[in-house]
Each structure stands twice: as C-alpha cells, then as structure tokens.
A and B are shown apart, each in its own frame.
Chain A
C-alpha cells in the first residue's frame, strides 16, 4: 500500500461525505411539509404554529439554515430534536445500546453459523447435507423478516411463554447485576435469534459458493495430492475466501448502528432504527440529519477500512499497490 493511494482514497471519502451533507439537507427540505405543517389541531392556531416554526428555526432563510446545519454536522453538535426537544446526541446514545446488542449479537451469530454451514455444505457437495443447508438457507433468506419474527413471537412468547413479548428489561427490572444481565439476555434472546435466523442463510449460501470455487482451485488439488490433512486443506481454501468475507462483514458494520427497523418495531425495542423512522416521518430535521450524516460517516469509514484490511488479508493486493 502506498501513501498516494491512501490519500486519494481518503479524499474521495471526504468528497462523498460532503455530497451526503448537501443532499441530506436538500432532500429533507424538498419533502412537502415540515414538522409544523402536519399539525391539525384546532386548539393550535396558525399563530402558534408560526411561533413553533420560529423556535425550530424554520422561519430563517434556507441559506442560513444550511450554514447552521453544516456547522452542526462538522462540529458534531446536532441541536435539539423537533419531536422530543432533547439533544439529538442524548437520544441517539440512549438508543444505541439496544441496537448494538441486537445487531452485533445477531450479526455475530448469523455470520458464525452461516459461515460454518457454508463450509460444511461445500465439503458435503452433492450429498444430502448440502441439499439441506441450501434448502434451509434459501427458505430463511426468502421469508419476509417480519413474518418470521411474528411467528416466533406468537410461538415462543405467547403460545409457549418462554421469552418476553417486548423490550429489553422487565418492569420493574430485577435487582442485582447478574439478575439484570440475565433479564436483559432473556429479553434480547428472541429478537437476536429471529434476526440471526433471517440472516444466516445469506452467509451460508455465499460462503458455500466461495468455498466450492476455492476447493476446486489447483492449489487445493495440489494440497490434497501432497497428502496434507483434510482440515489443513480446508483452512487453505478458507484463507483464500477470507478477504471478501471480511469486506462484507465490515460493510455490514453501518447496519449495526442504523438498526434493524422492522425487528425493533416488532419487538418494541428502543433502538436507533425506530429513531430514524420517526425522525423521517416526523420531519425532524436535526434528528434525521444527524442520523444520516453519522451513518454516512460510518459507512465511508468502514469502506475505507475494508479496502485497507483487504490489503492485509491478501498480501498480493498489498504488494501490487
């Protein structure tokens, strides 16, 4: 890797961020209506609406609004949410734990399980085990997520009340650190399992295809011809497919913080995904602007990290550059 390439890549990322900042502002202002115009309440007079619009800063010229917005984005000071009148940071931070717990756990589980299944399927090519893995993966990947989650909710929270129906904690929460932890795990189990169930199929299919191709390469044939142990051959093959897996994994990181909107909705989780949804539907410019900007920042950073890590994972790429 050379400094010139990295500098160019970094500059490109900054350009993307600048474009996102501008588009973020423009698109929201282009949407019909605003946070005030959708209020239909005869006890809330047009005069009071104008008063509220002034408090929100919506009565200022667009250019001025844009300058304020850019300053906030660059200084990471996002102002107050229109809906909650709380600092946007405060709201985001209060919602991140549930989202991170949900998405990171489910991503780890689905990736681990999916990768393992994919490798098994590739090794059992042509046999019943492969067909089962392929079939199960295709089925789970094709079912609508909310449908799977509602079925699981009905089965294991209602019919067989093993897991709670909602939230991340009991009301009131149990006392003691360990009790609190287990209560949290018990509440998050069903959402995590459901999301993992939805996601593992994609991983399995992808890894299986990569492994089949890798195991068919000459180096694998040579390894087997040399009498290397089967496990070592598999490891060599897996090593070659690691770069794209790492890339996909890193590019999935923005999803960790953007939240699984549907899952959060189904399980009534206080997460970032529902925050985004409410911000957009409610024309909450500070909240929506901040959320999308941070998402873009994380996405660009992860893409950059993926490019860098790709070089480390595959020395040929590093030397070539």
Chain B
C-alpha cells in the first residue's frame, strides 16, 4: 500500500468515525419488522440559500439536512453539539472524459498512462477534505455490481512513465511528451464549467491538468458555460472534459455511456468509444435473461473498460447528512445517510413529545404533477406519497418487497419470440391513502396510462412492454417485447397510482393534482406511501401527515 493510499485510508476512517451507523441507531434495525411511520407529521422547508440552510440546522429549525456538499459546512455542523452527522458512500461519480476518436486519446495505452498520472488521493485530501473516495470503477463502488477494489487510487507516475516509454514516447527538455514519430504532443484543452458556477469542479479540473502536465501531457483548462460544454461534448468537439453525474445502483447504464450504438450527436457515448469486445459484453448485459447472466456480463464489461479506459474515473463523493440529536431511531447504512425513507418510518423524538419532523428541501419543487415532474426535489416530495412494486434493501441494495410481496423474472417463448415475463404478487389488504383498496388492476391502469401517453420521464421504462395481464386482483403479469433482466427494475420502479385517478386525467401535461382536494387531501395525489400531502405553499414549505392506511403501520394491513 502506497503512502497516499495509507493516508487516504486514515482519512476515510476519520471521516466515517464522525458518525458510524452504529452511533445513530441503538442497534441494526431489522427492516422486515419495521413499523411506521411513528411521526404523525412531516414538513419539508424550502431553503435555497446554502448558508441559510446551515444556519437553520444550527438553529434547530431543521431536523434533517441532507446532501451537504461543502467540506467547510460539514466540519462546521460536525462541531455542533446539537447535531449528529452521518456519512455514506454515494452514487455521485466524477470522470475525466477523453475523446477516444481524436489523437492522442485514440490510444488506449496513453489513456491508461494518463489514468495513472492523476493523484486522486491528493484530490480527496486537498479539495474535499476526505469526504469522498478515489475510484477506479465506472460504477459507484458501493453498487453491488461494482467490482471489488473499485474504490482505489491507481496513481502511479512511475508506472505511467514506464508505460509511455514502452510505447515509444519520450520527453523533451521542457518535460513535454514527444510522440514516437518525433513530434511534440500538441496542446490540449480540458473543458470545465465556469468557476463562478462550480468552483470546486473548476479547481478539480485545474488539479487534474496540473497532474497530467507533470507527466508530460500538455493540458490546459478551458472554462466555459455548462450548456456550451455539453453542446461540444455532444458534437465530440473536444479533447478532454470533466463531468460528474449521479448514477444508479445498476450496471445497465454502462450500455448508454459506452456502447457504440450510442455514439452519435446527442448520444450518451460522449467519449466516442467503439470496441467490439466491449460492445458484446454490453449487449450481453443489456439482454441478460436472468441475474446470473447479468452478473457475468457486468463483470466482463467492467474488465473491458479497465483495459480500454475510455474515460478516467476520479472520485465518488460521500453523501453527508446532519440530524438533530432531538431525534432517535435515525437509520443509516454504508450506502444511505439519515435522510432516507427508513428514517422517516422509524424516527421518534427523544422524550416522546410528538412534533413534526422537519427536513430540508433545497429548491422549490416546481412541479408536483408526477407525469411531468423531472427534478429531484419534486420527487423528494412525491416519493413519500407514492410507492412502487419493489423497493431497495438499504443494506444490500437488492430488490425487496413493497407493494408486491414476491416477483419472478422468467423467459418465455423460443427463437426470435423469446421474451421476458415479469410476474408480481400484490400484497393483500393494501389501501390507497383515501382508504380505497389497492389491487393489481390499479397498477395495470397506471402502467397502461404511461405507455399510452408516451410520457417522457417513463418512456424508457415502459416502451418495451407488450401487454399487461391481471389474472386476478393480486397478480400482475407484464409481458415484454424481448429479453432483458433489467425490465424488472424498470417496471418495478414505476410509481403506483389508483386506476380511478389516472383514468380521470384528460390532459397529463396540464394536470393539476392539487386541484379539487377534499378531506383526503389533494384529489390527485392519491398514493400508497407513508405520507399524504396536507399543505403546500409555493416557495415556502410542504406539510405532510401520516397516511393512516400505510401498509407498515401496526394493524393497517389485515
């Protein structure tokens, strides 16, 4: 283990020691026996100013403040005696994109050498104060599909130099790389967002440029507007760029980013990767018939990526949350900080005095129409109202039951007619928050509505559905057009809505679910989640009250 790796490990231990999961909960919570929500009211305060957010947490106006990004804020809140911190490995990853279609990055060896020239641990230490981890994986290391050892720093300037020398490169008097043909490597621009918009990313880009320059790559940063940068990436009019995005737990996204069929203007294959071996493994991954096949294909795809190095993984940011010590039963895991659904179910105020749990909403949820809501903040609110067939086990990140009690993925048909069939068993006794019974026919109506209207947000999840059958009130069978194990997550992750609601929607784009509310709350926001909307004032707050028919309440399901 190198010195930097040891230092990183020490930092990681220090960071995690701020609030290991065990410190936030009396014991590991058996989620299969969890009953809740124990709180009767939940409020989300809309505070857009980061400084005001921190002050509100310090002042006790917020009980939970999630996704704290600035290291200085983390340190400040960690010192507050009224708050406890939770840190979890996250799904936000940062990459150095390389244009694989343009010299010199059309050489895989050169890309690998560049990857070994970047001091990731230094970045973690200097820029993020340890609140992230260096990665060498194209999936978040916390994902169950990521390879073992994905969280590591492969910084090794000596090895990089040796690799370059082996490939015939040399260095001139100024330390600049000279290609085997004797020509100096031309200057390259590293595209980065403007510092005033994203100061951390701009600093990071400069650090990467400096690292590469030290290795002989003539790299300079070129700050620009984010939209302009994306436009250039779409057109492959770049050499290098830095980009970060939040990834899911599943590896199917690798197909979108690195398969040659996605290499077109506006496609997600912004690196222009085109490799037959990688394509085969990604196709096998996307079309895997079952979990075992998917795992095998995922391993092969990631091995191919390691050899190709089409982009350079840099770090994965930790998720950091601050929670008031006035609350107990705060739920955290390695991959989930305190601001999760399980906390909302289990949390109780210390001393037993009932009061609303108040959490931060960093931006106005511009849209509460589930058919058109696209922002994370809208779904932060909608997510406590709606449920889906399956949810995610917070410990293993595998699928677990929610509305469905069991599920099966099977392959039917033969030859070109082979297709995936998903069968879900709906739990008995479930009810919507208005008290009406929840059945398989509601789920069918919801999915059919999404298919019929080709709603963009759900388009990809439902476009391959051939038909949906409901043999009885508690059985849902979804017949797909072709074979893919990932259809399970696509379908099981859709929000479930009552048939009577979706069937009454005439114009999904202009639908206002808040109109015509009655005693059961807004007429349109009928879900089966733990909470229901009680009040909403734009720009100010959202108030929720406990759904009396929620499936995990004591005695709710008979």
Residues of A at the B interface (CB closer than 8 Å) are: 31-33, 37-38, 40-49, 51-52, 55, 80-81, 83-87, 91, 94-95, 98, 150, 153-154, 157-158, 161, 165-169, 171-173, 265-271, 274, 278, 283
Contact = CB atoms under 8 A, between A and B. Distances in A.
Contacts of B51: 150, 153, 266
B59 A161 contact: yes
B539 A46 contact: no
Given A48-B459, A268-B48, A270-B538, A166 B56 contact: yes
Contact of B540 (A80, A158, A171): A171
Contact of B268 (A46, A166, A171, A269): A46
A49 to B, nearest CB: 7
B73 interface: no
B71 interface: no
11 contacts: A32-B230, A33-B231, A37-B266, A42-B256, A46-B268, A48-B460, A87-B510, A95-B538, A168-B540, A266-B52, A274-B48
Contacts of A55: 456, 509
B267 interface: yes
Interface in B445-471: 454, 456-457, 459-461, 463
Contact of A153 (B46, B52, B61, B266): B52
Contacts of B437: none
Nearest to A82: B374
Nearest to B245: A40
B460 A44 contact: yes
A46 to B, nearest CB: 6
A94 B52 CA distance: 23
Nearest to B456: A52
Contact of A171 (B43, B225, B248): B43
Given A153-B51, A171-B45, A43 B58 contact: no
B32 interface: no
Contacts of A86: 366-367
Interface of B: 43, 45-49, 51-52, 55-56, 58-59, 61, 225-228, 230-232, 234, 243, 245, 247-248, 252-253, 255-257, 262, 264, 266-268, 358, 364, 366-367, 369, 372, 374-375, 454, 456-457, 459-461, 463, 509-510, 535, 537-541, 543
A289 B387 CA distance: 37
Given A48-B460, A55-B509, A85-B510, A268 B266 contact: no
Closest 10 CB pairs of A and B: A270-B539, A171-B541, A42-B253, A33-B227, A42-B256, A32-B231, A84-B366, A85-B372, A52-B456, A48-B459
Contacts of B52: 153, 157, 165-166, 266-268
B227 A46 contact: no
A293 B374 CA distance: 26
Nearest to B246: A41
B222 to A, nearest CB: 14
Given A32-B227, A165-B52, A268-B52, 8 more contacts: A37-B266, A38-B227, A48-B457, A83-B367, A157-B52, A158-B59, A171-B540, A266-B52
Nearest to A45: B460
B364 to A, nearest CB: 6
B228 A33 contact: yes
Nearest to A34: B227
Contact of A80 (B47, B510, B535, B538): B510
Contact of B367 (A84, A98, A166): A84
Contacts of A269: 539
B543 A171 contact: yes
A167 B56 contact: no
A40 B484 CA distance: 23
Nearest to B365: A84
B205 to A, nearest CB: 17
> Which of B45, B48, B226, B375 has the most A CB atoms < 10 Å from its CB?
B48
> Which of A41, A86, A157, A171 has the most B CB atoms < 10 Å from its CB?
A171
B59 A165 contact: yes
Given A84-B367, A166-B56, A33 B459 contact: no
B540 A167 contact: yes
A267 B46 CA distance: 11
A55 B55 CA distance: 41
Contacts of A278: 366
A84 B463 CA distance: 24
A45 B256 contact: yes
A81 B460 CA distance: 23
Nearest to A85: B372
A250 to B, nearest CB: 29
A265 B366 contact: no
A55 B245 CA distance: 25
